[in-house]
Copies of this chain bind each other. A is one copy, B any other.
Amino acid sequence: MAPVVNGKFIFAKPLQVGELAELGKTAVYDSSETINLDTVALNGSFLAKTLVLAIDPYMRGKFRDPAIKSYTPSFDLGQPISGFGVAVVLRSESDAFKPGDHVYSNTVSYAHYWVPKDTSPFTIIKNEIGLPWSTYIGVLGMPGQTAYVGWKEFSKAKKGETVFVTAAAGGVGSIVLQLAKRDGCRVIASAGTDDKVAWLRALGADVAFNYKTEDTRAVLQREGPIDIFWDNVGGETLDIGFEFARNRARFIECGMSSYKGPNPYRLKNQFFIVGKELSVNGFIVLNWLWKYGTSFYDEFPRLVKSGEIKHEEDFTYGLEKVGEAMQEVLVHGTNRAKKIIVVASN
């Protein structure tokens, strides 16, 4: 077969501290190379075709200068970025993977076709329950696992307690909201558009509000105090959370999206940690899957299939549109739900 164009989405220019990803500069779509799918060397690995990719908030930090260390490796300058995705194996020299297998990992390349140097991060998805591949990078992937792990490990939720979930319409927050309701908690949930707020109500939030048009402090003063704070945003919202926390409240630190921008908010209410005996715990989901991965995959696919756990996806079609999708998720927050890039249908 003749060589085909192999489009890629390439990391082109590192972000400075506080700088926002810029369309067409930070990373760019490149279709200058071709690949011969029949003859490309595998070197003991496999040839993969990308089906779906997830744009997640954690990716922001990976567009940094590779010289700067952090808890997650940076992307490689001049190379395709990578992330959670599902691909199908076209050819294989590995005993562990055969053509037709669907593989999942957080190292799926933002390219149409690619040969992984390291096959160890990949797991084969059987999908016997017959869910769309996109669910495996959303509600059944890292975001769903993040919600599950953080809630099980740190919430210490008791029936009737009040939970505040920020960025509650996101891939993580929307699952946290539902887990909290399943545990009998009262849920206050915030999001940044009225559409999202309507969805929070549909998911069962007892109080849902648009933090851009309604004052978070006023809402928590009226609806608090809170026993559990699920923090996806950090910043001033975290300070307000400290203020309206009940004694012995649990703060689950999942993300701090407020760190985008040049002048991140500086906390002033941390003294409540002592006076209210607060517990504040950060976590990275990948470090907890040894403990919760099995029970998650035992429970969650069935709950998703039955509709007991609801989820939404906001699709962008085509690898060449990744730049626009990243702007929605990482800069403007205008994605309507979990952002999925559909690269190919099979």
| Interface residue ranges, A against B (CB under 8 Å) | 70-72, 234, 238, 247, 253-256, 259, 264, 266-268, 270-284, 287
Task: Select from chain B the residue with minimum beta-carbon distance to A259.
Answer: B271
CB-nearest residue of chain B to A256: B271
Q: Are A281 and B282 in contact (CB under 8 A)?
A: no
| Sample (26) of A-B pairs whose CB atoms are under 8 Å apart | A70-B275, A71-B247, A71-B275, A71-B276, A72-B275, A234-B270, A238-B270, A253-B274, A264-B271, A266-B266, A267-B267, A267-B270, A270-B270, A272-B282, A273-B280, A274-B282, A274-B284, A275-B282, A276-B282, A277-B284, A277-B287, A278-B280, A278-B281, A278-B282, A279-B281, A279-B282
CB distance from A152 to the nearest CB of B (A): 15
A70 to B271, CA, bound (A): 11
- B238 lies within 8 A of A254 (CB): no
What is the CA–CA distance of A259 and B269 in the complex, to the nearest angstrom? Answer: 10
**Residues in B whose Cβ lies below 8 Å from that of A259:** 271
Distance to closest chain B CB from A249 (angstroms): 10
**Chain B neighbourhood of A283, CB < 8 A:** 274, 277
Of B253, B268, B277, which contacts A273 at CB under 8 A?
B253
Least distance between A165 CB and chain B CB atoms (Å)? 16
Closest to A72 in B: B275
Residues of B with C-beta under 8 A to A276: 71, 282
B273 close to A282 (CB less than 8 A): yes
Additional 11 contacts, C-beta under 8 A, given A71-B275, A274-B282, A277-B283: A70-B275, A71-B276, A72-B275, A234-B270, A256-B274, A267-B267, A273-B280, A273-B282, A278-B280, A279-B280, A280-B281
Question: Closest CB-CB distance, A269 to chain B, in whole Å?
Answer: 9
Q: Which of chain B's residues have a CB closer than 8 A to the CB of A247?
A: 71
- Candidate in A272, A280, A282 with the most chain B CB atoms within 10 angstroms: A282
Looking at the assembled complex, report how far the CB atom of A8 sits from the nearest CB atom of chain B, in whole angstroms: 28
Find chain B residues with CB under 8 A from A279 CB.
279-282
With the chains together, A274 CA to B72 CA distance in Å?
12
**Chain B residues in 8 Å Cβ range of A281:** 273, 277-280
Report yes or no: A270 in contact with B287, Cβ–Cβ below 8 A.
Answer: no
- Which residue in chain B gives the minimum CB-CB distance to A279? B281
Using CB atoms, name the residue of chain B closest to A270: B267
B contact residues around A280 at 8 Å (CB): 273, 278-281
Lowest 3 A-B CB distances belong to which pairs?
Answer: A266-B266, A273-B282, A71-B275
Cα–Cα, bound, A284→B248 (Å): 10
- The answer to whether B256 and A270 have CB atoms under 8 Å apart is yes
A70-B275, A274-B283, A283-B277 as given contacts; A264 in contact with B254, CB under 8 Å: no
| Chain B residues positioned under 8 Å from A284 (CB to CB) | 274-275, 277
Instruction: Give Cα A27–Cα B253 distance, bound, in whole angstroms.
Output: 42
B-chain residues with CB within 8 Å of residue A71 when the two chains form the complex: 247, 275-276
Distance between Cα atoms of A277 and B238 in the complex (Å): 17
CB distance from A99 to the nearest CB of B (A): 39
